[in-house]
Structure 1
Amino acid sequence: MKLKSNVELEGIIDQKENYTNEALQAVIWELEKRNLIVEGEIELNEEVIAEKELKSASLEKEFTSNEGAFNEFEQSTLYSKNAIRGFTIFFSTIFGAVLLMYNLKVMKKPKERIQVLFFSIIYTIFVYFLLNFLPKSFLTTLILNLIGYTILSEFFGINI
């Protein structure tokens, strides 16, 4: 409030209903500090506070009552193919499979979810044992994760 001009501060006081109690109190303190009002001349009116609370409660009630009407039109959010690709390649096939399983849950495909779960567990175990015999490098892991993503996307058909 220190940066506001006297006219702006008086405008805020005139339009009390548009501001929070904390902002109004800060304006009052700033006006008192500038010696534009006498201390205690303007006090936060209990009626204004009650009116604000009543207004916000009615708006909140109106919002929640309308919320149910729009739920039937709300489309579920699915993870994109790029998100699944990124998690699978850079982290592990199991992470991409978790995202794919969430998408399948939203699309109500329980059989496919179980297939993806079993594939990802078996493939992760396979990669673990394979990495014991191959040289451990970032490139090797990246290639194996890319193969896992290819199987997830082609065999299980990520259609997003």
Structure 2
Amino acid sequence: MKTGRDHQRGRLYTWEQQAVAPHDGTVIMRDQAQGMVDAIWADIGLRYPPKIAALPAQAKTLIGRADRLTIELAPRVPSWCLLHELAHSITSTVEGESDGHGAQFLAAYVFLLARYLRLDQHKLRASAGRAGLAVGSEFCVSQPDSGL
């Protein structure tokens, strides 16, 4: 993972506004987000989900940001934004290492968009490629123990 310059950030935000936002008009209230994060985290077989917190008051233009342990949100966010921040948590480490908006992040984000917003994964990957974005290979998560 890298911690340097985030080369895909601007292109990803543009792509997101064109390819993702128009297909999802739902809004999540911050006080409801923890339950959703917990459910998604468990559904994909992970333990110890990040905690939801309020963005600092001085963060006037942000609607969300995340690391492995915390997802900070505005009072109301589009559901795709919550998935965007969740993808950051999934692809970050406790030590603060992150893929930024790189290929690993985008693979996780596309996976979440397809699974929870039912957007077409192949169309998302194709449109991301046309936008000049590198998308990692298929994102895989471990499955919960079957109890066997």
Larger Rg belongs to: 1
TM over 0.5, yes or no?
no
TM-score (norm 2): 0.27
If the length of structure 1 is used for normalisation, what is the TM-score?
0.26
Larger strand proportion of the pair: 2
Larger relative contact order, structure 1 or 2 (CA cutoff 8 Å, min sep 6) = 2
